[in-house]
Structures are given as C-alpha cells and as structure tokens.
Structure 1
Amino acid sequence: MKTCILFPGQGAQSIGMGKDLYDGFASVRKLFEEASDASKIDLAALIFSGTEEDLKQTRNTQVALALVDSAAALCLRERGIAADGAAGFSLGEWAAMTEAGVVPFSEMIRLVAERGALMDEAGRRSGGSSMTAVLGLEPSAIEAALKSAGIDDAWIANYNAPGQSVLSGTELGLSKAEDAVKAAGAKRAIRLKVSGAFHSPIMRYAYDGFREILTDVVFADPSKAFYSNVSGGRVSSGAEIKQLAAQQIISPVRWIDEEKAILADGWDRIVEAGPGSVLAGLWKSTGSPVIVSPAGTAEHIAALAV
C-alpha cells in the first residue's frame, strides 16, 4: 500500500509522549540514547519526568519532538509499514528528512538541537514577539486586512487550513493585526503562548546562525517523495532541501499547498507519526476520501499493522 508519513511539529508535545513506544520497543530505547548523545540532553528524563515548563522551551521542544516523531516512524517500519513519502509540519519536517534519507538520524538531532537553541535566542532578542491563531477567515482575506491596515510587523506564519492561519509578529504588530482580522470577519484571534515569532523575519538571527552551521553538512537527495513547507510542493534535490531547511526558519509554512501536492500524488494511505492528531484534523479540509490515520502510540501502530 502506497504510504505517506506526516510528522507533527511544535505544539504537539506533551510530557510522557512516546513512553509506550519506549517501553515496548528496544529499538526506540536505543534511539533515545543516540538522540541524547547527539543533543547532550537527557531526553528520556526531559520527556517522561520533566516539567511542562521545561519541555515547552524551544531549545528542548524541538529535539524532543523530532525524536518522538522518528521513534513512531521506526516502530511503523518494524511493524511492516514502510513509507514511500514523507512530509512534516515545521519542526516535523526534520523527521521527514531522516525518513526520506536526506539526513542521518544523529546528524538530524544535532542540527535540530542547534536550530532550537538559535530560535530560542532569536525570540529573546526580539524585544517582545509572539504568534496569534486566526480562525474563520481565509488567508487571502487576512493578507488583505493586514495590507489595508498598513501593518508591516505581523505576517502569516502558518497557512494551516482555509479557515485557520497563524500570524507571527511583534507584540504591537499582533495587537493591530488582531483588531484588523476581527474587523475583516475572523471568528476568533487567539494569542498563543510561544517563545517567539516563528516562521517570520523576526527569526533572522536564527536563520543567519543556522545557515552558517549547515555550510559543511551534506544533504542527500531524498530516496522517497519529500515535500517542503517553504515551497508547498515536492522537492527532489538534497541541495535544495538544505537551502530550504534554513529558509524555513524565516518563511511561512505553506501547509495548504503542501497538502494539495500530497493529495495530487495519490497516496493510498497517510499516517501521522508522532504525538496527537493535529495534522489529521487539518487534512479534513482537503475533502480527500483518504483519511490521515494516527500513528503516535503503540496501540495505533498495532492497529495499522493488522
């Protein structure tokens, strides 16, 4: 069965995620050790017995989630569910790179740890920035509202679904943007509790630092279908994926376009490898008869393997 794996991003994390996979699969325990060595973080302690406050710190969240996403994919393979394609939302794109053979697991974890630390620092240096979820208004209407209001310090960061987008910006810019989108007909504008304005120009410090870190890193051409957040389409060159991996930090996640590209490739089965079911929920807006099946727990994976 032609299968594409989707990997969730930051926001899907929770204390205890992946514990049943860790307990039930020796290979996952080994993966945790490998990731802890690569990141210099005791990830089992952080994820299973740490605090929500510690886990939500970007420098910790990103590496922990990349590990649990990859652990779920490993368990799928061990249960005989092989992927022919991979895509990830924001941070989840790194697990997709490893799934597609672009970057080895240990190298991916090392890079994600660097990325998370840089984005954490960029948030601190911003002087006050955040993100706002906008519900019930098309992205084009949001863009028009921001332009009409003359707002140049808030941008769409995540094109999640036709009726759901996320803005990034300065605190003042978001306040103005929230008023503008509500006036344009948005049902709700919800300020998020995040440590920075991700996927926006405010992350420039992180982009510059990460691009330098990537200089000597080799990205292989993907061995499976691979989709990009930045382009919203399929990418077949490792060199291009490397360029986009840095660019993603300051660019919006074009998930609506990416879903269309995935849909166009005619997958028989799509699974969400990692905690939660956020991507399954977003996928419903495509109207596809193919659903996204959860694959974040041992029970979910066992059900898929039947």
Structure 2
Amino acid sequence: MGRDLYEADGPSRAVLEVARRELGGDLLSVMFEGPEEALTRTENQQPAIVAHSLAALALVREAGIAPDFVAGHSLGEYSALTAAGCLAPEQVLPLVRFRGELMARAGDDAPGAMAAVLGLDAEPVREIVAGIEGAGTVVVANYNSPGQVVISGEVNAVEVAGAACREAGAKRVIALDVSGAFHSPLMEPATAPLIARLGETEFLPAAVPVVANVDARPHTDPEETRANLGTQMTSSVLWEQSVRWMIGEGVDRFVEIGPGTVLSKLIGRTDRGVATFSVDHPEDVSKLTAELGQGGV
C-alpha cells in the first residue's frame, strides 16, 4: 500500500519520508512489500493507514481542495485532526503507533472479539447487548450506517449477542478479523497511557471543525480534542450520527481520503442523496478536481 503515492514524488513522497524518519524504514518496507501478516499487526497497521491517508491528503491539498468539516472513523479521526491543522505528520505518526501498541497489548491481555451485525436496526442491537447476562461484556462499538452496527467485547459475549441478533432478524452477523475488542471496556488498560501521551502532545485549534466519534458534534478546541481522543478507544464510534449531522449542516459532498472506499459506501447507505468521492491513488486527485473544480468540498 502507498507505493504509488511515494513514486508520485512531490508532497505525497514528503509525507512518507516523514514516516520513514519518525518510525523507521521498516514501516515503508512493510507498506510497499509486505508481508501481509506484518502489515495487519495493529502496531504497524495503524501508522501505515495514517501515513497512506496523509500522503493522499497532501495531493488533495496541492490541488487546492479544502473541506468545510472533517471527520474520521476510529483511527481515521487522527488523520482528520491532521487535515484540520491540529497535528503535524511528525506528531501524529508516532502517536498512532503508540496507540496501536497499546491496543495490541490490551488485546493480548484481554482477548476479545468484534462482529458486524447487518440488516438489523441499531435500537434492537442496543437492547440485545444491554440484556446479555452471565456471558460477559459486550457493547455496540460502531454505528456505521442504517442496518450496520458492530458489537465488541469478550469472545463468548459477542457470540451470544450475535446469535440473539440473528434470532431478532439480522440478515448476517460477521465475525471481524481483529486483534482485540476495540471500542469496548476491554480497551480500558490502554486509556491511561494514551491520555498521558496526549497530554504531552501539543494540539493546535482546528482550522475547520472536526466532527468527533464520541459525540457526533464539531470541535475546534485543543482541550476538547484531547478529551475526545482519550475516551475514544472505549466509546462507540458514532459514524452514522456524524454523517447525518454534517448533512444537516448542508454538506452534500464527501471525500474519503486514504486506503479503500469503505466509508464512501457507508455514507451512501446513510443518505443516497449525497455525492461521495475517494482518493486512494494519485490519479484519483485529477478525477476529484474534475468533479469538484477548485472550490471547497
């Protein structure tokens, strides 16, 4: 991943060189050449995704495209904060590696599971996880789009809740290939060290509002940003609510920057009346500018 962004030279290569300088050349080697097993380790995957996203963002900025709001899903919130000017790449890349290491350690110490529940509204899923007794901890981790939520927690509790969701009418319950029960109380041991690290990190006021995962509301204040990131790992990702809030503010075009098109699909399922674009590769920028022109998103 990201090799074409490096070969494009210019601002995208400069960002990836920051990643090399701050995190060592091994990360770029894993990004460009694998192996897949190394890339998917949480402590590598998180900085790799953010490095890729920021390299693509650099090309979008070079094209003169600027947002009215930014938001990111879970880890993506760190890229969004960088896009808003709160953090520099030199700050955020070591920060997300540290976050990934903490989450991997928490996952090793307290093994958990996550599962996507498809075809069932959020409210019945909330009621199901709230009613699980004797099986352990399980919560709603992600509100992704209408009819798609993710549950997270102890392995047995997720299995029991998943079975109950099927009985309640879910079309599918899909176990996710993850190394821990992210956005659940099982990540609590990672919270205090992350909060301490966030306290040592200088955040600038956001140049554009950042719609936060934890409350689906806009923030620009550095202290609010620290507080939001400090609770994010154990809180639900309110992605659908964030998208709906932005649409309510008049946003009708969304640009997903980074690897893949998962968020574009989730946004499209949330409201088919908005336009979505994705920038994963250098050639995507010219397509984006052709659609949007040089104005703001």
Q: SS at the partner of 2:91?
A: helix
Contact kept in structure 2, 1:149 and 1:180, CA below 8 Å: no
Residue 291 of structure 1 deviates from its aligned partner by 1.2
Contact kept in structure 1, 2:42 and 2:104, CA below 8 Å: yes
Q: Pick from 144, 149, 154: which aligns with 2:127?
A: 144
Q: Pick from 227, 233, 255: which aligns with 1:243?
A: 227
Alignment of 1:23-102 (within 5 A): 23-40=7-24, 42-102=26-86
Residue 36 of structure 1 deviates from its aligned partner by 2.2
Q: Show CA shifts across 1:223-253 (max 9, x none).
A: 1121100111111211101111111011110
Residue 278 of structure 1 deviates from its aligned partner by 0.6
Percent identity between the aligned chains?
A: 36
Residue type matched to 2:68 in 1? D
TM-score norm. by structure 2 comes to 0.93
Q: Pick from 93, 96, 116: which aligns with 1:109?
A: 93
Residue 201 of structure 1 deviates from its aligned partner by 0.6
Residue type matched to 1:246 in 2? G
Residue 114 of structure 1 deviates from its aligned partner by 0.6
Q: What number of residue pairs does the alignment pair up?
A: 289
Residue type matched to 1:208 in 2? A
How large is the Cα RMSD of the aligned pairs? Answer: 1.4
Contact kept in structure 2, 1:234 and 1:261, CA below 8 Å: no
Residue 288 of structure 1 deviates from its aligned partner by 4.7
Distance 1:245 1:102 in 2: 13
Alignment of 1:157-176 (within 5 A): 157-176=141-160
Residue 101 of structure 1 deviates from its aligned partner by 0.9
Q: Show CA shifts across 1:176-226 (max 9, x none).
A: 111111111111111111100001110011111111112222222111121
Q: Show CA shifts across 1:138-179 (max 9, x none).
A: 111001122334365111101101200111111111111111
Residue type matched to 2:72 in 1? G
Residue type matched to 2:231 in 1? Q
Q: Does 1:133 align with 2:116?
A: yes
Q: Pick from 167, 189, 201: which aligns with 1:183?
A: 167
31-40 vs 103-112, which moves further: 31-40
Residue type matched to 1:53 in 2? E
Alignment-derived partner of residue 197 in structure 2? 213
Alignment-derived partner of residue 203 in structure 1? 187
Q: Does 1:120 align with 2:95?
A: no
Q: Pick from 240, 256, 259: which aligns with 1:272?
A: 256
Distance 1:45 1:299 in 2: 23
Q: SS at the partner of 1:85?
A: coil
Distance 2:108 2:136 in 1: 20
Distance 2:286 2:2 in 1: 14
Distance 1:137 1:253 in 2: 17
Residue 269 of structure 1 deviates from its aligned partner by 2.9
Q: Show CA shifts across 1:12-60 (max 9, x none).
A: xxxxx22222111332222112112222353220111111111110000
Q: Pick from 10, 20, 24: which aligns with 2:4?
A: 20
Contact kept in structure 1, 2:132 and 2:157, CA below 8 Å: no
Contact kept in structure 2, 1:25 and 1:75, CA below 8 Å: no
Q: SS at the partner of 2:153?
A: strand
Distance 1:274 1:136 in 2: 27
Distance 2:67 2:22 in 1: 25
Distance 1:50 1:176 in 2: 36
Higher relative contact order (CA 8 A, sep 6+): 1
Alignment-derived partner of residue 267 in structure 2? 283
Distance 1:268 1:139 in 2: 24
